[in-house]
């Protein structure tokens, strides 16, 4: 069996991956808060850990991997959008408008991630379907002294969990020294974080022992991972930005609520995405969504390829130049593998690279080496979610009949061979190239191939 090694953020070392149960390998990825379109940075963990999902399925069998990625559909930004719509005259209750907004956003998310070639996870739970489980977990935490209720809020007592800060390498005292924590009158300690908060009439809320309210951020992942994967499971993944406080708080909640378990055993974090060397942010004006790129005509497969060219533990820079190069490479490979059946298995070198802490860049280098073996190239690329037939429409040659142009150019060329005046041939060739046609002339004859930028309107008249 292929030995998979993964960099575990928890231990800061690369470890051999040994699942608790090879019959059911369990992975949890923190999914999106569904308030708007996913931006490009949101897509990196999806693509990176999709490769891990595929690798685990290969090694343990597709039926023996459970991949959970949640939708957080409780959030103040969702509430704000719903309220704005209501004020603008939208029909329905606030709850219905919230539901409509999250349904809409989830559909966008699915469409966008599908376009990137990401497999759907085994389970995609919604936070609002697990409110009861969250309330139960919070109640248990209060009972065991790890949480307390105050003024309609429930807070996690950070000092009650001695390992708090272990994942991110911080101590509670250091963090307080940083003085960037919200101080609130209902907190025993400034580091304590909210498990439950009250909702007023125009906010969504659920009845609870602490009054009508809604869950704080963090608890949904603890509750859902417990319900769906158990008190101990194998892999927990997400962006490095989530390491603190989100994952730290998840660990505190889950380990205190279920001391019999060990929660997640391997923590994987991807580094951040940048755009042309800078952080993507609205203020810099370089903020864009996956859909923006797709709408610009950049195929999802190209985005995926660019992502996989950089190891997931390193910051990744999105540049137009990379997208162009990725497109050229994929176009070449698609031409090379057109009409070829994939080999029964991926190349061992590619599997080995992926098994070595998801060295996708190394795996791509191995793909280049497989250019002489298209069937193997195809099966290997497909293991990484590339060169899938369903994703290749963008690379298909435009369907046009150029036989008349071919014959015309061929005739001109034959005449020029005799007259030695190649000007008419060159003129027609230039016109064809301008129309986006690749012109190949050899002893065998003339061949015209419409390319990416083909424009029938620019074809030279016959």
Partner RNA sequence: GGCGGGUUGGCGGAGAGGUUACGCAGCGGAUUGCAAAUCCGUGAAGACCGGUUCGAUUCCGGUACCCGCCUCCA
Residues 97-116 interacting with RNA (rule: CB under 7 A): none
246 annotated ligand binder? yes
Residues 6+ apart with CB under 8 A from 177: none
* Strand (E) or helix (H) holding 264: strand 263-270
Residues 388-427 interacting with RNA (rule: CB under 7 A): 413, 416-417, 422, 425-426
Q: State which residue, 122 or 447, has the beta carbon closest to RNA.
A: 447
CA-to-CA distance for 336 and 175, rounded, in angstroms?
Answer: 55
250 annotated ligand binder? yes
Interface segment toward RNA; rule CB under 7 A; list 55-63, 149-157, 279-287, 374-382: 279-287
Number of residues counted as binding RNA (CB under 7 A):
71
CA-to-CA distance for 31 and 75, rounded, in angstroms?
Answer: 13
3-class DSSP state of 289? strand
Task: Decide: is 174 part of the binding site for RNA (CB under 7 A).
Answer: yes
Interface segment toward RNA; rule CB under 7 A; list 83-91, 139-147, 150-158, 167-175: 167-175
Q: State which residue, 294 or 365, has the beta carbon closest to RNA.
A: 365
Compute the least distance from the CB of residue 243 to RNA, in Å.
Answer: 6
282 annotated ligand binder? yes
Distances (CA, A) of 34 to 30, 121, 135, 366: 12, 16, 22, 37
3-state percent helix, strand, coil for the chain, nearest multiple of 5: 45, 15, 35
Interface segment toward RNA; rule CB under 7 A; list 110-118, 292-300, 337-345, 436-444: 436-444
Report CA dihedral (280, 285, 291, 296) to the nearest 10 degrees: -120
Residues 216-275 interacting with RNA (rule: CB under 7 A): 239-245, 271-274
Residues 368-387 interacting with RNA (rule: CB under 7 A): 368-369, 371
CA-to-CA distance for 313 and 17, rounded, in angstroms?
Answer: 17
197 annotated ligand binder? no
Binding-site member from 26, 39, 126, 197 for RNA (CB under 7 A): 39
CA-to-CA distance for 85 and 3, rounded, in angstroms?
Answer: 52
Interface segment toward RNA; rule CB under 7 A; list 16-24, 137-145, 162-170, 256-264: 162-170
Residues 124-153 interacting with RNA (rule: CB under 7 A): none
Compute the least distance from the CB of residue 322 to RNA, in Å.
Answer: 5
Q: What own/partner pairs with CB < 8 Å and gap ≥ 24 does 439-448 have?
A: 439/409, 441/409, 441/413, 445/410, 446/406, 446/409, 446/410, 446/413, 447/406, 448/402, 448/405, 448/406, 448/409
Question: Any idea what the Cα angle at residue 277 is, between residues 276 and 281, rounded to 5°?
Answer: 80
Binding-site member from 99, 279, 408, 458 for RNA (CB under 7 A): 279
Are the beta carbons of 413 and 447 closer than 8 angstroms? no
Residues 41-70 interacting with RNA (rule: CB under 7 A): 41-42, 44
Q: State which residue, 120 or 368, has the beta carbon closest to RNA.
A: 368
* Site map (CB under 7 A) of RNA, residues 439-458, x = contact: xxxxx---------------
Q: Residue 430 CB: number of other CB atoms within 10 A?
A: 12
314 annotated ligand binder? no
Residues 293-322 interacting with RNA (rule: CB under 7 A): 309-311, 313-317, 319, 321-322
The b-or-e profile of 298-320 (16+ CB within 10 A means b, else e) is: bbbbbbbbbbbbbbbeeebebee
Compute the least distance from the CB of residue 259 to RNA, in Å.
Answer: 26
Q: State which residue, 255 or 326, has the beta carbon closest to RNA.
A: 326
Q: State which residue, 143 or 296, has the beta carbon closest to RNA.
A: 296
Annotated binding site for ATP: 282
């Amino acid at each position: 069996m292929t030995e998979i090694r993964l960099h575990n953020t928890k231990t800061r070392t690369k470890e051999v991956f040994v699942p608790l149960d090879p019959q059911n390998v369990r992975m949890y990825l923190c999914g999106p808060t569904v308030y708007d379109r996913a931006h490009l940075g949101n897509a990196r963990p999806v693509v990176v850990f999709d490769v891990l999902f595929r690798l685990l399925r290969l090694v343990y069998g597709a039926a023996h991997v459970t991949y959970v990625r949640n939708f957080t559909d409780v959030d103040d930004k969702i509430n704000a959008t719903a309220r704005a719509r209501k004020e603008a005259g939208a029909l329905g209750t606030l709850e219905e408008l919230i539901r409509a907004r999250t349904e809409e956003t989830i559909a966008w998310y699915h469409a966008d991630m599908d376009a990137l070639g990401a497999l759907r996870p085994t389970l995609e739970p919604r936070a609002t379907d697990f409110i009861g489980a969250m309330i139960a977990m919070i109640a248990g935490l209060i009972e065991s002294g790890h949480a307390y209720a105050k003024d309609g809020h429930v807070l996690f007592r950070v000092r009650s969990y001695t390992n708090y800060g272990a994942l991110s390498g911080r101590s509670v005292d250091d963090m307080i020294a940083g003085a960037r924590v919200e101080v609130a009158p209902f907190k025993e300690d400034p580091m304590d974080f909210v498990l439950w908060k009250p909702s007023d009439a125009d906010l969504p809320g659920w009845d609870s022992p602490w009054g009508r309210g809604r869950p704080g951020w963090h608890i949904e992942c603890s509750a859902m991972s417990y319900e769906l994967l158990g008190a101990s499971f194998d892999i927990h993944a997400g962006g490095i930005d989530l390491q603190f406080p989100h994952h730290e708080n998840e660990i505190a909640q889950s380990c205190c609520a279920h001391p019999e378990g060990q929660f997640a055993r391997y923590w994987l974090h991807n580094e951040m995405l940048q755009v042309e060397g800078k952080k993507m942010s609205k203020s810099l004006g370089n903020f864009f969504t996956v859909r923006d790129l797709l709408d610009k005509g950049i195929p999802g497969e190209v985005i995926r390829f660019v992502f996989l060219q950089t190891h997931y533990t390193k910051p990744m820079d999105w540049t137009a130049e990379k997208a162009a190069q990725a497109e050229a490479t994929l176009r070449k490979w698609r031409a090379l593998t057109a009409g070829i059946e994939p080999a029964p298995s991926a190349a061992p070198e590619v599997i080995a690279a992926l098994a070595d802490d998801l060295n996708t860049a190394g795996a791509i280098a191995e793909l280049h080496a497989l250019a002489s073996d298209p069937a193997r190239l195809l099966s290997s690329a497909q293991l990484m979610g590339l060169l899938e037939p369903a994703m290749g429409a963008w690379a298909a040659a435009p369907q046009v009949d150029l036989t008349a142009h071919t014959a015309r150019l061929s005739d001109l060329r034959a005449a020029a061979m005799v007259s030695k005046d190649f000007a008419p041939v060159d003129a027609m060739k230039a016109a064809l190239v301008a129309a986006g046609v690749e012109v190949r002339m050899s002893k065998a004859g003339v061949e015209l191939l419409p390319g990416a930028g083909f424009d029938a309107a620019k074809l030279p008249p016959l």
